[in-house]
Amino acid sequence: MSKPAKDSLLLLEDGSIFYGSSFGAEVDSIGEVVFNTGMVGYLESLTDPSYAGQILAFTYPLLGNYGVPAYAEKDKFGLPRFFESDSIKVKGVVVQEACRQPSHWASKRTLSKWMESEGVPGIEGVDTRALVTKLREAGVMMGIIASGGEAREQEAIAELLSRAESYASQNFVKGVSVSKPVIHGESDEKVVLLDCGTKYGIVRNLLARGYQVVRLPYNSSYSAVMKHDPAGVVVCNGPGDPKVLVDTSKCVGSLVDAEVPILGICLGEQVVGMSQGAETFKLKYGHRGQNKPCIDLTTGRGYVTSQNHGYALDEKSVKGTELKPWFMNADDGTIEGVLHASRPCMAVQFHPEATPGPYDTVFVFDRFVDAMKGKRERGAEIRSVRA
């Protein structure tokens, strides 16, 4: 099959230009340019709300080879079977080659047609190895995908990029959180999920363990959470700089003080840390992929994890809190999990729900369930004594 002419470009804020061919929607799009090292899972990655505000480059050279299924295909919980949210969340896609003739029993359309229908641009034919090398050396940076790149004035495109808001200054969580409570499942036992941009994989894991999931807006108050009488609270993944989530951090701090069992995941770990007085910092190019090694510091055992984050907890600031490091990244030594010394509070930086990626750390959900059951049992014992 003949390749389309190079009619698009990716311009980075440092002036680097990568030419390629347009696919998906032919629109301009600006975002923070990041990369993912996974070989599969583009359906889950593109619908992961943690990528809101970002242009995603894939290091694996071929994308779209198993096509795109229908949102209408549901799992046993009534959630979209193959996706992590109800729409594409990335601002754009960069790849070496976008497959135009996919092959899979569930495929209903091509990657390009899917992206076009949701207004998301892509650029293919890019030397993604050179792009990733640039981002690893200089750090992630803002960029713009512009269609008709060779025919347009590059100075005008650069002007659009220069006027754009920085990634860190924006509150992307507001755009991916629910605006009012959303209920999943039926059970007498409830888990409140503070929705900072949750992946459906997290909801599925909680439902599979017999809990009703109550998704609340990210900026819900302590009283709004407690009126649901939750067995525990999950603070989920999400996009952007955690420092903008002041209300969420305050709420989580109150929940920890009240000894409500807490599980933080990804951005949720950073929020848990901030609620206890720890600081966060931006990683040079983040951890995004499905083969990130982590070590459980309590056992010395290693795990392969799925990750997608650009910020982390500062280890020195954690030492001044009641949080103790639980997991450590084997590549760069950053904190990948924390445990509270005296409260039923735990958090991990990786994604125990995977989707995409290995299920090595799904036991984190079981440990959270144990904490919730322990809290309920202690409460029942106290009520029995008082009676």
Residues 303, 355: Cα–Cα separation, whole Å: 16
Residues 96, 341: Cα–Cα separation, whole Å: 47
What is residue 266's predicted lDDT score, i.e. its pLDDT?
98
Range of the domain at 39: 8-162
Each residue's pLDDT tens digit, 76-105: 999 999 999 999 999 999 999 999 999 999
User: Do 213 and 154 fall within a single domain?
Assistant: no
User: Do 115 and 248 fall within a single domain?
Assistant: no
Length of the chain: 387
**Among 162, 195, 216, residue at a domain's last position:** 162
What is residue 8's predicted lDDT score, i.e. its pLDDT?
92
What is residue 153's predicted lDDT score, i.e. its pLDDT?
78
Output the CA–CA distances (angstroms, integers) from residue 129 to 3, 7, 222, 350, in the order listed: 20, 20, 46, 25
Output the CA–CA distances (angstroms, integers) from residue 328 to 38, 42, 171, 262, 298, in the order listed: 20, 26, 28, 20, 10
Residues 197, 351: Cα–Cα separation, whole Å: 13
- In this model, does residue 380 exceed pLDDT 70? no
User: Do 272 and 317 fall within a single domain?
Assistant: yes
Q: Please name the residues in contact with 283: beta carbons below 8 A apart, sequence gap of 6 or more.
A: 309, 310, 311, 312, 334
- Which tokens hold the place of 178? 């629910």
What is residue 384's predicted lDDT score, i.e. its pLDDT?
52
Question: Would you say residue 386 lies in a domain?
Answer: no
User: Do 184 and 136 fall within a single domain?
Assistant: no
User: Do 144 and 189 fall within a single domain?
Assistant: no
- In this model, does residue 310 exceed pLDDT 50? yes
Catalytic residues: 266, 351, 353
Question: Would you say residue 387 lies in a domain?
Answer: no
- In this model, does residue 350 exceed pLDDT 60? yes
Question: Would you say residue 338 lies in a domain?
Answer: yes
**Predicted confidence band of residue 1 (pLDDT cuts 50, 70, 90):** very low
- Which tokens hold the place of 295? 């070590």
Q: Give the side-chain half-sphere CA count within 13 A for 36.
A: 31
CB 148 within 8 A of CB 8: yes
- In this model, does residue 4 exceed pLDDT 60? no
Each residue's pLDDT tens digit, 5-57: 568 999 999 999 999 999 999 999 999 999 999 999 999 999 999 999 999 99
- Candidate from 3-17, 73-87, 155-169, 267-281 with smallest mean pLDDT: 3-17
User: Do 156 and 287 fall within a single domain?
Assistant: no
Q: 117 forms bridges with which residues in the sheet? A: none
The average pLDDT across 269-292 equals 98
**Predicted confidence band of residue 299 (pLDDT cuts 50, 70, 90):** very high
Locate the DSSP E strands across the chain: 8-12, 17-24, 29-36, 54-58, 62-63, 92-95, 97-98, 121-124, 141-147, 182-184, 190-195, 212-217, 232-235, 262-265, 280-296, 302-313, 323-329, 335-340, 345-348
What is residue 154's predicted lDDT score, i.e. its pLDDT?
83
Each residue's pLDDT tens digit, 117-139: 999 999 999 999 999 999 999 99
User: Do 155 and 204 fall within a single domain?
Assistant: no
Indicate the DSSP class of residue 264.
Answer: E
Locate the DSSP E strands across 44-156: 54-58, 62-63, 92-95, 97-98, 121-124, 141-147
**Among 110, 140, 162, residue at a domain's last position:** 162
CB 238 within 8 A of CB 176: yes
Residues 219, 245: Cα–Cα separation, whole Å: 8
Give the chain's domain count.
2
Residues 208, 353: Cα–Cα separation, whole Å: 12
What is residue 151's predicted lDDT score, i.e. its pLDDT?
46
| Tokens 């951090």, located at residue | 249
The average pLDDT across 228-257 equals 98
- Which tokens hold the place of 65? 């080879």
